[in-house]
A and B are shown apart, each in its own frame.
Chain A
Amino acid sequence: MALITSPNIVDPDDFYAELIALHQGRSKEESDAINARLVLLLANHIGDRKTLSEAFEAATLQERTEP
C-alpha cells in the first residue's frame, strides 16, 4: 500500500485542533513522550513496512518540491 499523501482526513481543522490540544499545558518532556507514543501507535496501525519507510522518507525530505 503506497503512502497516502493526498488529503485523507475528514474535517482537517477539527483534527488539527485536537492534535494541538493534546499538548496544551504539557511540559516539553511530556509532549515529546506523547509524540513518541503516537508515532509507535500509528506505525503499528499502518503495519505495512513499505508504507512506513515511505513515511519516514517523506518526513525527512522536507525540502523536496512536489512535481
Chain B
Amino acid sequence: MTKIFETPLYPYQRSPDQDRATPARHPAVVVGAGPIGLAAAIDCALNDIPVVVLDENDKVSWGSRAICFAKRPLEILDRLGCGDPMVVKGVQWRHGKVFFRDRQVYEFDLLPERGHKRPAFINLQQYWFEVFLYERLKALAAEGKPVEIRGGNRVVSVRPHDDHVALDVVTPEGPYSVEAEWLIACDGALSPTRSLLGLDFVGRVFEDNFLIADVIMEVDFPTERWFWFDPPFNPGQSALLHRQPDNLWRIDLQIGWNIDKDKEKQPERVIPRLKAMLGEEVDFELEWVSIYTFQCRRMEKFRHGRVLFAGDAAHQVSPFGARGANSGLQDTDNLVWKLKLVRDGLAPESLLDSYDAERVHGADENLLNSSRSTDFITPKSDVSRLFRDATLDLAARHTFARPLVNSGRLSVPCTYDISPLNGPDEAALPRRTRPGAPAPDAPLGSGWLLDRLGGRFQLLAIGTQAPDSLDVDGVKVETLRVDPNDDPSGALGERFLGTASAALYLMRPDQHVAARWRTYDEAEVRAALSKAIGRS
C-alpha cells in the first residue's frame, strides 16, 4: 500500500504565469507547503487575500516530525476550519511516566483544566496534519476562494523592492518569474528564502544528536508519555516513547555528538537499539528514521520589508516541549489579519512591525523554555549532571523535586505583554485575560466561546451594554453579548470576570485581548481599536 507521504498531492502543473511576457503579480505568495505555509495560505484565503503557495515538492512531509499539537494551535485550526479532523484522528493523552536508570521515578496526570473545547494537546503525525490542512485548502479553492498551490516550484531568487518582491522560480519545465506584493516565507529551518536574502539566523547549537524512529507495532502499552533518563538500554543518554495514531510509536533516542549520522540511520544500527529498548520479543516495522541536532536560534527580525518570515524559517527550537509547529501556527495567526488590514488600506504598513514585536517575544519565550529543557535532558557539565541526577533521585521519594524535572515543558500560548497594540486594562479583572492574552475558551450555551470569536474585531460584552456594531473609519467591530448567568460551569466568570459583575473586552481577529473595561464608552473603544491596528 502506498503511504500518504509517498503520494503526490499537488503534482507540478503548468501555470499560465509561466507563459506571460511580463511576470504576474500576486497579492500574497507563500514559500513552502509545510504546516505553517499551508496554514498561512488558508488564513489568506479566508481573508480573501489572493494567495499562491510555491513548494519545491508535491507531497506531505515524510515521517512524524512535529508530533505534538497543543490546545492553542488546535483553536487556531478551528478558526481556519480544520480542527475537527485533527482532533478526531489524533491521540489524546494526559498520563506519563518518568524513569531514571533502571526504575520508575514517578508518574503524572496532567489534569487538564476543564471547560475547554479542545484537549491540552494531541499526538498526530505531521504528515496527517499537513494532509488535513491541504484538504481544507483544496475545499476553499473549490468554494472559489483565491488560493492556489504549485508543486514542483522551487524559488531560486528573491529580489525585494519597495512595493513588491520579485521571484525567480524553477520548475520541471524550466524557470519563470513571478511577483508578490507580500512574500510569506515558511520554508523551514534551512529556509532558502533566508539564505537568498543573506539574512542572519543566530543562536545556540547543542552538541548532541537524537535518533528518531517511527515504529509500527501492536503492543498494549498504555497511552502515556514515557521518558527515560540514563536508562540501561541507552546508558548515559535519554529516551522518549510517544503514541501516535495507526499503531505508530515515536521513539527518540539521544545518541551523543561524535557519531556518523549516515551510519547510525541504517536499519542494522537502528534495530538493535530499538530491540534493547522494547525487548527482543516485540515485533515492529520501521517506518521512518532520522537524526537531528538540537538548535535554539532565531532571526533578529521576522519582517524584512515585504518579506515576512514564519515558523522554523524564523525561529528554531529543540523539540522537547512542542514549540516548533505550535509556535509557527501562532505566527501566521498573528500575521494574516494584519496583512489584510494593511492591504485594504485600513491600517498603516507599520502594523506589520507589531508582527515582529509580538512573535519575536513569543519565539524568545519558546527558546528560553526549550533551552532549559535541553540543558536538563542533556547536561553539559559535570555539575549540571550532578544536580540533574540528584533531582531525579529525590523525585522518586519527594514530590517537591518533581516540578524540577524537565523533560520538556508543554507549550502554552504566548501573552503579548509587550505589545504596542495593547490598550487599556482593567486591573480588577482576572490576570489571565489581560490585554495581549489569547482568550481562554469557556462553555457558552450549548457551544463554546472560541467558536464565536475570531476572524474580525469584536466586543465581548459580558453583562454590560454595547451597540450591535461599530465602524471605526472602515474597520467593523461586532458585538458578542453574553449573559453572565448563562455560565453553568462558572468557567466564563472565572476567566473573564473574576469578582466583577460585568466586563467589556475588545477582541482581535486572532482571539487575543486588545483592551478591556468594566463598561462601554465609545470614545475609549475607538481609541483602543485605533491603537490595536497601529493607527496611533
Contact = CB atoms under 8 A, between A and B. Distances in A.
A32 interface: yes
Nearest to A29: B386
B400 A33 contact: no
Interface residues of B, number: 11
B472 interface: no
Contacts, number: 25
A36 B390 contact: yes
B217 interface: no
B386 A40 contact: no
Interface in A4-57: 32-33, 36-37, 39-41, 44
A36 B394 CA distance: 10
Interface string B370-396: 000000000000000011011101100
B404 interface: yes
A52 to B, nearest CB: 13
Interface in B169-213: none
B177 to A, nearest CB: 58
Contacts of B156: none
B394 A33 contact: no
Interface string B396-412: 00101100100000000
A39 B389 CA distance: 13
B125 to A, nearest CB: 38
B389 A40 contact: no
A32 B382 CA distance: 10
| Residue with the greatest number of chain B CB neighbours at <10 A, chosen from A32, A33, A37, A39 | A37
Contacts of B398: 41
Nearest to B385: A36
Given A40-B404, A44-B400, A33 B391 contact: no
A37 B391 CA distance: 7
Contacts of A39: 387, 390
A36 B386 contact: yes
Contacts of B394: 37, 40-41
B492 to A, nearest CB: 33
A33 B404 contact: no
A32 B404 CA distance: 19
A32 B390 CA distance: 10
A32 B386 CA distance: 7
Contact of B389 (A33, A41, A44): A33
Interface of A: 32-33, 36-37, 39-41, 44
A-B pairs, top 4 by smallest CB distance, nearest first, are: A36-B390, A44-B400, A37-B390, A36-B386
Interface of B: 386-387, 389-391, 393-394, 398, 400-401, 404
14 contacts: A32-B386, A33-B389, A33-B390, A33-B393, A36-B386, A37-B390, A39-B387, A40-B387, A40-B390, A40-B391, A40-B394, A40-B404, A41-B394, A41-B398
